[in-house]
């Protein structure tokens, strides 16, 4: 359980996140994709659970997030919602379900909200998807923006390197962040951009910014749960801090179990009927 016990039980809402920014309280966000892990991180006091399309990498073993479907995201989000009492649950809109046109975007977002009971959606991109975001917002669905490194555009970027190091891209990112604020997004994820730029955006917009690989000047942080718990050891970017080494713990526990089965030590007489 987090040491911050203030308001630990009260439901997190988009309004509460805004209030946290205004009071200078940092927002802690993690990804989850299933009931059991969502329950654990919710009980630990996480503020926001993102049902990320990173499920494509860490749950399905794909190289990119692009293969994720709407049905798959809804399945994950539905499981997470069942395990969550306090955190705000945000579900990623998967690639290909909102970029085409605003009508299709709205239909996709409505399916997520109706079928999974997530409380908000997240969408990657700025000016290019403005109309889709506006359409979704007009239906009363809260939208979290996502700027900087947007993994659904990996085939355009060709690399997962830091974005917006050049002035032109940085200026576009600032303009996109202002636009997302203006049209009514409740928060913005800033992924893998220079810390100084993320800090500047965080000062210039009134809505919370949540960083990943974007330094300490954002209003909150997000990490992929499998990365920070050391389940997924093959991924070690500079920005990642590992809070546990679950892959070693799981490997040792499973090895122990195998030994006990092979040696007929398990089950013993107290472990049978």
Chain residues binding ligand KIV by CB under 6 A are 31, 50, 52-54, 92, 189, 191, 212, 222, 224
With respect to ligand KIV, which residue has the nearer C-beta, 207 or 212?
212
Alpha-helical segments (H) within the chain: 14-23, 35-43, 55-58, 70-82, 102-116, 130-138, 154-157, 167-183, 195-204, 225-228, 246-262
Q: Closest residue to ligand KIV, Cβ-based?
A: 52
By beta-carbon proximity to ligand KIV, the closer residue of 183 and 240 is: 240
Judged by beta carbon, residue 180 or residue 222, the one nearer ligand KIV is 222
At closest approach, how far in Å is the CB of 19 from ligand KIV?
Answer: 22
Among 183, 94, 170, smallest CA distance to 130 is for 183
Q: Which is nearer to ligand KIV, 61 or 272 (CB)?
A: 61
What is the rounded distance in angstroms from the CA atom of residue 205 to the CA atom of residue 208? 8
Structure tokens at 246: 């679950």
Between 53 and 219, name the residue whose CB sits nearer to ligand KIV. 53
Least distance to ligand KIV from the beta carbon of 258, Å?
32
What is the number of other CB atoms lying within 10 angstroms of the CB of residue 46? 23
Tell me, yes or no, if 191 is annotated catalytic.
yes
In the complex, least distance from residue 246 CB atom to ligand KIV, rounded to whole angstroms? 18
Burial class (CB in 10 A: 0-12, 13-18, 19+), 109: buried
Of 169, 182, 191, 252, the active-site residue reads 191
**Shortest separation between residue 37's beta carbon and ligand KIV, angstroms:** 13
Placement of tokens 């329950």 in the chain: 39
Q: How far is the CB of 54 from ligand KIV (least distance, A)?
A: 3
Distance in angstroms (rounded) separating the CA atoms of residues 205 and 39: 32
DSSP label at residue 125: -
- Residues serving a catalytic function are 191
């Amino acid at each position: 359980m987090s040491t911050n016990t203030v308001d630990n039980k009260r439901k997190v809402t988009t309004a509460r996140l805004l209030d946290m920014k205004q009071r200078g309280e940092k927002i802690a966000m993690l990804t989850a994709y299933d009931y059991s892990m969502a329950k654990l991180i919710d009980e630990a006091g996480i503020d926001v659970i993102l049902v990320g399309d990173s499920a494509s990498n860490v749950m399905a073993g794909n190289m990119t997030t692009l293969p994720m479907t709407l049905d798959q995201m809804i399945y994950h989000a539905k499981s997470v919602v069942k395990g969550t009492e306090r955190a705000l649950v945000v579900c990623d809109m998967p690639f290909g379900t909102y970029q085409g046109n605003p009508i299709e975007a709205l239909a996709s977002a409505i399916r997520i909200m109706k079928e999974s009971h997530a409380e908000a959606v997240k969408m990657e991109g700025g000016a290019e998807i403005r109309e889709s975001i506006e359409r979704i917002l007009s239906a009363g669905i809260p939208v979290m923006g996502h700027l900087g490194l947007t993994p659904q555009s990996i085939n355009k970027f060709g690399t997962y390197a830091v974005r917006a190091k050049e002035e032109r891209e940085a200026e576009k990112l600032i303009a996109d962040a202002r636009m997302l604020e203006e049209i009514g997004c409740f928060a913005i994820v800033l992924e893998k951009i220079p810390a100084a730029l993320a800090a500047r955006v965080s000062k210039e917009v009134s809505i919370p910014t949540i960083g990943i690989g974007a330094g300490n000047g954002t209003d909150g942080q997000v990490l992929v749960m499998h990365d920070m718990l050391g389940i997924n050891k093959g991924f070690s970017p500079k920005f990642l801090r590992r809070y546990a080494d679950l892959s070693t713990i799981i490997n040792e526990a499973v090895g122990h179990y195998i030994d006990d089965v092979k040696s007929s030590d398990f089950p013993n007489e107290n472990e049978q009927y």
